[in-house]
Amino acid sequence: MLSILPTYLSVLVGGAQALLTVRALRLIRIFRVLKLGQYTSEASQLGRALSRSRQKITVFLAVVLTMVLVLGSLMYLVEGPQNGFTSIPRSVYWAIVTLTTVGYGDITPHTVMGQLPASVVMILGYGIIAVPTGIVTVELGRSSAGASPGRGCARCGQARHDDDARHCKRCGERLG
């Protein structure tokens, strides 16, 4: 309904053409066509892992933002306006681009004193990419360790049972 409604609204109501972008919801039908609905439990497991690691990732992002501000300010002081670092916000932009390993090249350090911290920022960028990946991976491993899909107890809800278990280890109910 949401994917069809914008088309009719744009015909009937003037100025509703912006709603045509909602037609992208039609792509959701691809799940049904390709029978991808069976993978929703894996998607919910990934969602739970992201939710559980939310605090760690928030702290990590706060540290990264602090690093970007400090490194951007440092590069503004070291390189200065004559080398393209015309303001602290522009230098922070350089730090973000360098730390995320995008490296547009529109602002580059020209002095040796600027290239040294730039090299450190580039190497830190690789580590920064790996940290959130590791955090989420650990949570995914915790949520799936020892659990067999579809082996939850109907009575008490215990989800983790051994593959050869016939009864729930918490309440003794027969597993289905």
In angstroms, rounded to a whole number, what is the distance separating the alpha carbons of residues 81 and 85? 5
User: Rounded mean pLDDT of 57-83?
Assistant: 94
**Residue whose structure tokens are 């609905």:** 37
Query: Which residue ranges make up each domain of the chain?
Result: 1-34, 38-144, 150-176
Using pLDDT thresholds of 50, 70 and 90, give the confidence band for residue 77: very high
- Do 68 and 99 touch, CB atoms closer than 8 A? yes
**Residue whose structure tokens are 């440092």:** 74
The better pLDDT of the pair 160, 115 is held by 115
As a whole number, the mean pLDDT across the chain is: 84
User: Rounded mean pLDDT of 23-42?
Assistant: 73
Residue 142's alpha-carbon distances to 86, 134, 146, in angstroms, are: 47, 12, 9
Residue 147 pLDDT exceeds 60 = no
**CB contact set of 169 (below 8 Å; sequence gap of 6+):** 158, 161, 162
- Does 2.40.50.140 match the CATH number of domain 38-144? no
pLDDT at residue number 113: 95
Q: Which of 76, 66, 156 is nearest to 109 (CA)?
A: 76
Residue 68 pLDDT exceeds 90 = yes
Count CA within 13 A, CB hemisphere, residue 32.
Answer: 5
Which phi and psi (to 5°) does residue 174 adopt? -70, 130
Q: What is the dihedral of CA 35, 38, 43, 45, to 10 degrees?
A: -170
